[in-house]
Structure 1
Amino acid sequence: MNLLRVQDAQLAFGADAILDHVNFVLEPGERVCLVGRNGAGKSTLLKVIDQQVVLDDGQVQYVGDTVVTRLPQDPPAQSPQRVYDYVAEALAESGELLTRYHLLSEKMAAGDASSGLLTEMDSLQAKIDALNGWQMETRIEQVLTRLNLPADTSMAELSGGWLRRVALARALVVDPDVLLLDEPTNHLDISMVRWLEEQIKEFKGAVLFISHDRAFIRHLATRIVDLDRGQLTSYPGDYDRYLAKKQELLEVETAQNAEFDKKLAAEEVWIRQGIKARRTRNEGRVRALQDLRKQRQQRRELQGKANLRVNEASRSGKRVFEGEQLQLQFDDKPIIRDLDLLLQRGDKVAFVGPNGCGKSTLIKVILGEQDVDGGKVKLGTNLEVAYFDQHRSQLDPQKSVMDNVGDGKQDIVFQGRPRHILSYLQDFLFSPKQARTPVLALSGGERNRALLAKILLKPSNLLVLDEPTNDLDIETLELLEQIIAEYQGTVLLVSHDREFVDNTATAVLYFEGDGVITEIIGGFSELEHYLSMKSATAPSQDKSSTQGTKTETQRSHSTSLSDKGSAQRQKKLSYKLQRELDGLPAAIEEKEHQLEQIQQQLNEPEFFSQPLEVTEPVMQQAAELDEALMMLLERWEELENLSKQSS
């Protein structure tokens, strides 16, 4: 039996319909993932189902007494309100009475036994009895216990991840049949994402969720529904089947459109023939041409892909950062303990760990913006930093996209060539109309694209990306992965998107807590392998006896990215690293060939008799090729040794 039905839904906020006479059905027990490009209308559809947005036409039908609740995209604001009170608010009148009863009970426990208080308590008990409110109180306590939430803690004391957990408690306390989740993994660290996955799997009702976290989708979705150009298409099965089927349908659509356009072009040639042809014109054929023109006019083209490119600066020094025995703590909390770290040009390092563990602090140390309490720090030279801030503080919400990205200029310089700001923004899928729109009016994904456009415009050789994947659609995520892979500079990445880390990072700095930071060569898959091995070999001992003490084993986890003997490397190569190893011989051969050609120029007798402006660029190119070749050889040796150790 269906839980809800969306029938012939029509909704438009502009020229193109967000929902174009669509239908949708949700069955009990389903976990449906709603996917689509940024701005396609996914969040709007959830609001329609939650009756927060009214359709232009069509209807949403709940079957029977179906209860629907929605977890918004953003966590609740920090406030003096207690967790218990915020969760109880979802129960309307019963929640208000229970909140008041809870408060009066605390007063009585504190020694207040006035007659007025007792009278109000009696009145509240009667009202709660009449509404069967004690059952609701039991439900609140069960949900808070299940989610491990402190009932009497102020919302102002909670981090973003805990606020998201409180919001989920508020959604679950009404015992819904349908749970709507809008980007539930945003701002959650990896442990919280895993926890959320388990909570959703245990939920007995149906779930309709929006997410761009591919690992999250793969673990949870039983069906994929794609919102594309106002149309909903259902794809039963898992996410990988959806990708394959979607690609097939797009190829069919492209072929059909090409055939249609060919027929239309032939008819346009016919209609423009001379006088003789007009006299013998087939009026039925003319009407058919008019229908073809109308169909072509109504066609909604597939939105193109973003064209993300980096405006790279001149190369930095080979050493980007070096730290020896670094120590840092805030108050009594260790942030960095006995850390040896060497970052070299071309490293792509992911910072992984729970929220508040010190990832952003270490980045500030690397950039020279944060002093350490102890240890030696050597900063890199010739660094040009582009910083993607997860809070988007570099964007002025009141200004337009073009003013934010171009700093008010109409003409910009990108990769050494002048471009108009509107042309540049089209690479990031902003039409001229959208480019003139205030950032305040954009969706979360569109704001992230605007910030990417701003930071990628700046010449850089050190790219710092702090949670860049939040709200980005999957196609843009894949393009971002590609530019990181091709980027010649250094990348520091903070992300809780497991697949994104797997596809981009060559090493992970894992923040284990208590200031211990461990290097793992590879991506998130290698990190999971390390954690599982650590869990399997950890001695059973009293946790309290080891708290606050750093053992010699932990000391070995303090890391240098150039250390070839790390124990973490003694494991099977991941698929990504194996592919890299397989491709290195060809890359080395290509560099050797290029260097040989340059060397032949240098060996010519007349070469050094030429002006300096002619010889110097060639010599510089030879030096760069030689250094690149050495780096490839070092990387090949490193991966080859790791491959032998794992065999």
Structure 2
Amino acid sequence: TIHKGERIGILGPNGAGKSTFMKVLLGRIQADGGELWRAEGIKFAYLDQQLPERDEQTLYDYIAGGLEGLGDLLRQYHQLTRDSNTDFSDQQVLDRMASLQKQIEQVDGWAVEHRIEAMLDVLKLPADAKMKTLSGGSRRRAALGRALIAEPDLLMLDEPTNHLDIPTIEWLENTLNEFRGAVLVITHDRQFLQSISNRIIELDRGRLRSWEYGYERFLVFREQQLEAEEKANQEFDKKLAEEERWIRQGIKARRTRNEGRVRALKQLREERKQRRELSGPARMSLEQAGSSGKIVVEAEDLNHRFGDQLILKNFSTKILRGDRVGLIGANGSGKTTLLRILLGEIKPDSGKVKLGTNLEILYFDQLRNQLDVNQNIIDYLAEGREFIDINGKQKHVISYLQDFLFPPKRVRQPIKSLSGGEQNRLILAKLFSKPANLVVLDEPTNDLDMETLELLEEILLDFSGTLLVVSHDRKFLDNVVTSSIVFEGPGVVKEYVGGYQDWLDQGGKMLSFLTDERKQKDSKPASSKAAPVQKTEQRTEQKTNQKIDRQKQKALDQVTRQIEKTEQEIKAVEDSMAEPGFYDQPQPKIQPTLDKMAALQEKLDGLFEQWQALEDE
């Protein structure tokens, strides 16, 4: 039973059925059995784990779509008033607007329109931008806005923190803690769950179990429960073994056996058969290479821009062997760019970067460009090998895959059929099979279940080499890094001792995507209901005065065309990489294609940032 005001976290390993359970509650999937009761008139809103499509919808239309009937009326009115081709001297147009205004006023729709505008403001999303032009982080924010605008009785969120930066996650935490309805959330972000949850539902081995407290207390009681369950299972198995010995006694004993005891034994066997064992966490290990030189990376007076955006200004750093460095910043601040500059993949506009000696680099890419989704699991990992060397010991490929929770029956499964978490585990399996003394991880925690996350932390803590990590997972950063490079504003990049919480304790404050919008919001006059039709010319004149000038529009159109062209180029390269045998070629033949993909992606990111800067002017 779910009650108003509850903020429930759904926990369970990857593949346990958490998303399926949520879709059953929504009615999108029919349960095989049992009963589902919903209160009459209850409103649901759902955030899918997958990002919304890149289509022709404007952001206003997409978010208003969360309001069903009223949303459709507002979309029509918004399209009429914002379309430069609308002829306001046409009586049919005026009649249509009058009809829409009347319908909207009857349901107090102008107050709702103000909510949509406020939501766009707080999420820093331009109303007339099209979904197809947005980055993953912006589309995730749009999806959150669509779910929240409905003010549902039950809000269901499937991995809401994916693609979000830390400021957005913290804003979402505050929003959910003030939300009056019930919240059901699936997440791998432990800090997020700890901040919002007041109840936990665990989906474990096919069974649901409810814990009437938040995540922190759940961990304590869950550990006690597992210990008690293990002890009970040991007692049960002891009794079963005794009964099995009795039934196997000699001929004379079998002739005189107690039939009631035989029936009891059959029941014990059935109970043992039905009892599901824990599948256990992944058993990952990292192949360590020999020591690198003392200086791993040295950067001096780095300056770099993307279009008009300043990323680095006179930035210098020296990373030594054994350092564990986290890169922290909002989406679009330049974390991945700095990472690639330090690795020598991108040349800065000015400044020097020097890589150390004897480096063996392991690089986990957040875009999963390393995966050929048309390959199967074992071919991707093995590369024709039967055995893999792990820290001086040979291990069969299938056995190694089992350590990463890929059972033998699944090793021929195509990669494209795997979940996001399983794809991440497979990349880690391949990377960890090769020796490294510099580990570079770009958003490694997305989609991983909590047990695998914790194991990854243990492996990194045992790793004696150098670590560079970009992550929005605050607890992960606190657990694995000893220093942080923080993007605090345009071109303002500083180093601090410790992880994310240590940075906050030292007075750190990240520029949030909310900051500018709140200032703008505070400076705006309060919205009023729409004027009647006779004032349409006045409203139109006001909107015309607010439109961007022709020069800016021309620049926007040019950037949009470049974005579309670059996306087409990326699609062509992706298709070539998906061709059978692409990864069978020698590395010198593959590398130019990979470099081209990286350059195109970098170009696309820069174009998105140019477009956003123009919209924000």
Q: Which residue of 2 aligns with 1:461?
A: 437
Aligned-pair distance for 1:31?
A: 0.8
Q: Note the 1:269-348 alignment, pairs <5 A.
A: 269-348=245-324
Aligned-pair distance for 1:133?
A: 4.9
Q: Which residue of 2 aligns with 1:166?
A: 142
Aligned-pair distance for 1:408?
A: 4.8
Identity of aligned residues (%): 50
Q: Contact 2:361–2:439 (CA<8 Å) still a contact in 1?
A: yes
Q: Note the 1:40-79 alignment, pairs <5 A.
A: 40-79=16-55
Amino acid at match of 2:275: R
Aligned-pair distance for 1:251?
A: 0.6
Aligned-pair distance for 1:276?
A: 2.5
SS at match of 2:202: strand
Aligned-pair distance for 1:159?
A: 3.1
Q: Note the 1:119-198 alignment, pairs <5 A.
A: 119-125=95-101, 128=104, 133-134=109-110, 136-198=112-174
SS at match of 1:447: helix
SS at match of 1:167: helix
SS at match of 2:505: helix
Aligned-pair distance for 1:441?
A: 2.4
Superimposed CA distance per residue, residues 240-298 of structure 1 (whole angstroms, 9 cap, x where no aligned partner): 21111111111111111111111112222222222222222222222222222111111
Q: Which residue of 2 aligns with 1:388?
A: 364
- 1: CA distance between counterparts of 2:349 and 2:84? 49
Superimposed CA distance per residue, residues 197-216 of structure 1 (whole angstroms, 9 cap, x where no aligned partner): 11112211111111121111
Aligned-pair distance for 1:473?
A: 1.3
Aligned-pair distance for 1:136?
A: 4.5
Q: Which residue of 1 aligns with 2:175?
A: 199
Q: Contact 1:398–1:440 (CA<8 Å) still a contact in 2?
A: yes
Superimposed CA distance per residue, residues 125-162 of structure 1 (whole angstroms, 9 cap, x where no aligned partner): 45556776556534433543454543223224433332
- 2: CA distance between counterparts of 1:166 and 1:43? 20
Are the structure 2 counterparts of residues 174 and 88 from structure 1 closer, same or farther at C-alpha, using a change threshold of 3 Å? same
Amino acid at match of 1:431: P
Amino acid at match of 2:342: I
Amino acid at match of 1:369: E
Aligned-pair distance for 1:109?
A: 8.8
Aligned-pair distance for 1:377?
A: 2.2
SS at match of 2:276: coil
- 1: CA distance between counterparts of 2:51 and 2:135? 10
Q: Contact 1:327–1:339 (CA<8 Å) still a contact in 2?
A: yes
Aligned residues between the structures: 512
Q: Which residue of 1 aligns with 2:501?
A: 525
Are the structure 2 counterparts of residues 238 and 126 from structure 1 closer, same or farther at C-alpha, using a change threshold of 3 Å? closer
SS at match of 2:185: strand
Aligned-pair distance for 1:364?
A: 1.1
1:369 to 319, 330, 345: 345
- 1: CA distance between counterparts of 2:70 and 2:290? 65
- 1: CA distance between counterparts of 2:393 and 2:214? 45
Amino acid at match of 2:158: D
Aligned-pair distance for 1:314?
A: 2.1
SS at match of 2:35: strand
- 2: CA distance between counterparts of 1:310 and 1:343? 21
Q: Which residue of 2 aligns with 1:503?
A: 479
Aligned-pair distance for 1:77?
A: 3.0
- 1: CA distance between counterparts of 2:266 and 2:106? 69
Amino acid at match of 1:213: D
SS at match of 1:227: strand
Q: Which residue of 2 aligns with 1:438?
A: 414
**Greater RCO, CA 8 A, separation 6+:** 2
Q: Contact 1:189–1:353 (CA<8 Å) still a contact in 2?
A: yes
Q: Which of 439-448 and 214-223 deviates more?
A: 439-448
Superimposed CA distance per residue, residues 352-388 of structure 1 (whole angstroms, 9 cap, x where no aligned partner): 0011111111111221111122223221112111111
Amino acid at match of 2:438: L
- 1: CA distance between counterparts of 2:120 and 2:152? 16
Q: Which residue of 2 aligns with 1:13?
A: none
Amino acid at match of 1:305: P
In structure 2, stretches of 5+ residues that fail to align are: 512-518, 520-617
Aligned-pair distance for 1:428?
A: 1.0
Q: Which residue of 1 aligns with 2:389?
A: 413
In structure 1, stretches of 5+ residues that fail to align are: 1-24, 536-542, 544-647
Aligned-pair distance for 1:416?
A: 3.1
Are the structure 2 counterparts of residues 151 and 226 from structure 1 closer, same or farther at C-alpha, using a change threshold of 3 Å? same
Aligned-pair distance for 1:351?
A: 0.4
Q: Contact 2:329–2:510 (CA<8 Å) still a contact in 1?
A: no
1:492 to 444, 458, 468: 468
RMSD, aligned CA: 2.3
- 2: CA distance between counterparts of 1:34 and 1:386? 33
Amino acid at match of 1:415: N
Which structure has the larger Rg over C-alpha atoms?
1
- 1: CA distance between counterparts of 2:491 and 2:16? 43
Are the structure 2 counterparts of residues 107 and 246 from structure 1 closer, same or farther at C-alpha, using a change threshold of 3 Å? closer
Amino acid at match of 1:474: M
- 1: CA distance between counterparts of 2:286 and 2:83? 61
Q: Which of 139-148 and 307-316 deviates more?
A: 139-148
- 1: CA distance between counterparts of 2:84 and 2:317? 57
Q: Contact 1:71–1:182 (CA<8 Å) still a contact in 2?
A: yes
Superimposed CA distance per residue, residues 511-546 of structure 1 (whole angstroms, 9 cap, x where no aligned partner): 1122221111111121111235999xxxxxxx9xxx
Amino acid at match of 2:459: I
Does residue 389 of structure 2 align to residue 447 of structure 1? no
Q: Contact 1:402–1:408 (CA<8 Å) still a contact in 2?
A: no
1:215 to 162, 168, 191: 191
Q: Contact 1:411–1:421 (CA<8 Å) still a contact in 2?
A: yes
1:114 to 90, 93, 98: 90
* TM-score in terms of structure 2 length: 0.79
Q: Which residue of 2 aligns with 1:352?
A: 328
- 2: CA distance between counterparts of 1:219 and 1:185? 13
* TM-score in terms of structure 1 length: 0.75
Are the structure 2 counterparts of residues 119 and 364 from structure 1 closer, same or farther at C-alpha, using a change threshold of 3 Å? same
- 2: CA distance between counterparts of 1:76 and 1:468? 22
- 2: CA distance between counterparts of 1:424 and 1:147? 44
SS at match of 1:509: strand
Q: Which residue of 1 aligns with 2:528?
A: none
Aligned-pair distance for 1:443?
A: 2.4
Are the structure 2 counterparts of residues 152 and 429 from structure 1 closer, same or farther at C-alpha, using a change threshold of 3 Å? same
Amino acid at match of 1:53: I
Q: Which residue of 2 aligns with 1:102?
A: 78
Q: Contact 1:161–1:192 (CA<8 Å) still a contact in 2?
A: no
